[in-house]
Structures are given as structure tokens and as C-alpha cells.
Amino acid sequence: MSNKMREGLAYSDVLLVPQYSDIKSRNEVKLASNLSDNQFRLPIIASPMDTVSEKDMVVAMADEGGLSIIHRYNTIEEQIKIVESSRASLVNPDSPVAAAIGTSGDYLERAVALVGHGAKILCVDVAHGHHVLMKQALQELRGIVRDTVHIMAGNVATLEGYNDLVDWGADSVRCNIGGGSICSTRIQTGHGVPGLHTIIDCARSDRGVPIVADGGIRNSGDIVKALAAGADFVMLGSLLSGTDETPGDVINTREGKFKAYRGMASKDAQVEWRGKTSSLEGIATTVPCKGPVFDILKELERGIRSGLSYSGARNIEELQAKARFIRQTSSGQTESGTHILR
């Protein structure tokens, strides 16, 4: 063990320094980002969770220029039906449909079936992606699908992990481990790296494939920080949870209307999909109903556009070139939030 202790920064530890801007309107700011040949107007991806991403979210995200990845916690036949119904419901038939797979069991059969039914993006979705099973899966997948689909993979928390996944065949990499609002990996295992530090570290790579910042993002300001640090996309779960388009029934209580939201390593999810539990690294909860995801996305988009304009950036590439971070103290964090005198 090295005696030198590294320091990791979370999104709340820093701010972006405002800079000279000649941007007169947020409409001048463009947020487009690419996954291979697939261009997205909005750099937001809905997480492949069973309480976030099925057909309705796929269609809604595509309508707003983003992406939703269909979760893998179902049979191959059930996932194919979601892919087919999503494709049939898209306003723009050229919008890519994305679906998740794992690294064991039926993952190769599932991948072939998904691609055969029109999936254009596969997401190899595991908690700890810097692993021999990920290496095997990516190499086998690349040998089968060649360059016909985009392969996203993760999650990783280090530059070494990012580089290895790219070298093994990933076209984009999900970066961050244990930072999600209902993820308890860091508590249960003692492992992880703060989200902002992960993105800064992975962005030092010379590999040049898209970075997807996944976990720990609580608002549009965090999205701007992730993009400024080197991410090309952000992946969201909790911010999109509880919207009309998420799977699951509305739960009516005296306190209001709620929907289920759970981590895929929670006891509830593991029992439902696997019939047993292993390591519990997530929790299950309920969240207030939030209405259409359109409203959430529009509010996030306005915040992101404003954020870029504060750095004088008209697009994500300019933001990454101009961004200057400053670390804030705990008092600075308090001051940064809304507050009143008591």
C-alpha cells in the first residue's frame, strides 16, 4: 500500500469560475454530443434501471434529443418486445434504440437478439467494469457485432479502467462507481472514487472515446461541472425517477402520489429478478410523482445552457477548453445553496 494519500473531489466540492462571455442568449448554446455516428441534441442518458427505463422513457428521451437505455432485468423475449415497441413508437425512426446486457449468463445470446431486432447501442452494464469478465465480454461482443453497433461499457472509477475498457472494445465508457443516490457500494465495500475526480482522471486519457458521467449528479449545475471536467454525456437515474414515463404504478398515500425507485443491487430488485440476494449494494424507496419527464428535461436544459454561457462557451468542447474550477470550503458550500437568515 502506498503511503501517499490521494485526494478526491465530489461535485459539491468545487465551483466553476465565471468568465467573460459574449453570449447574448442561451439559444446560442448548443449541447450536441455524439456516440459514434449517433448525434444527440441533449447530452443526457436515462439509466438502465427497471424503475427508470422502458418504452415510454425511450420515446420521451428520443423526442427531446437524449437517450434512454432499456434495462436488462427481464427475459430476452421481454427485452426484445420493449425494443420493438419503442422503435414502433419513435417520432423519428432514425433515433437509435439502446439496450443493456450483462457479462455472464445469456449475455451473448441477448446481445445478438437485441441487435437482430434493431438495437443500435448496447450497454454492457455491471457495477465493477474493470474486471476480467468485462474484458471477455467486450472481446467476444466485438468479434460478433464488429462495428455495426455502438458498445457502451462500465462502470469504472479510474483512468486505468477507462483505458482498458476502450482497449478491450468499448466505444464509450460509463465512469463513476458508487455515487448514485440509492447506491450503497461505497458503504458496503469501502471502494469508490468521488464522481468529479473520476471524470477528471478519465479525461486525461489519450483514447478519445466518449465519457459518460454516471452517478452523484443532483442538479443541472452538477451536469455542467461533469461536462466541464471532460464528460461527453451524463447518465441520470434519480433526477428522472418518479416521472410519468418511468415504469411502475402510482402509489397513492395520504402524503401524496409516489412511484417506486430502487437500485438494481437492492434486496427488492435482486429478489424479484434473481429470486435470491447476494451482495446488497443499493436500496429501494419511493419518490414523489413529478409529472412528464419533458418538464424535468427542459428545466435541466435551461440550467445547462446558462452554465455554459457563464464560462463563455457555446458548446461542450468550448466549455472543456475554457472551464476553470475553484475548490470551495464547507462555508462556501453553505453559501452556494439557497439560505435565509434565522
Distance CA 327, CA 311 (A): 16
The position carrying cell 469501502 is 190
What is the distance in angstroms between the CA of the first residue and the CA of the last residue of the chain? 48
- Other Cβ atoms closer than 10 A to 196: 28
Distances (CA, A) of 67 to 11, 35, 61: 23, 10, 5
- β-bridge mates for residue 33, sequence order: 40
Long-range contacts of 275-279 (CB under 8 A, 24+ apart): 279/188, 279/189
Phi-psi region of 227 (alpha: psi -120 to 50; beta: other; left: phi over 0): alpha
Distance CA 59, CA 66 (A): 10
Task: Cis check for the bond before 74: say yes or no (omega within 30 of 0).
Answer: no
CB 123 within 8 Å of CB 69:
yes
Distances (CA, A) of 237 to 5, 6, 331: 31, 29, 29
Residue 188, class by beta-carbon neighbours within 10 Å (0-12 exposed, 13-18 middle, 19+ buried)? Answer: middle
Catalytic residue numbers, as ranges: 183
Distance CA 51, CA 25 (A): 36
Exposure on the CB side of residue 248, measured as CA atoms within 13 A: 23
The 8-class DSSP code of residue 152 comes to E
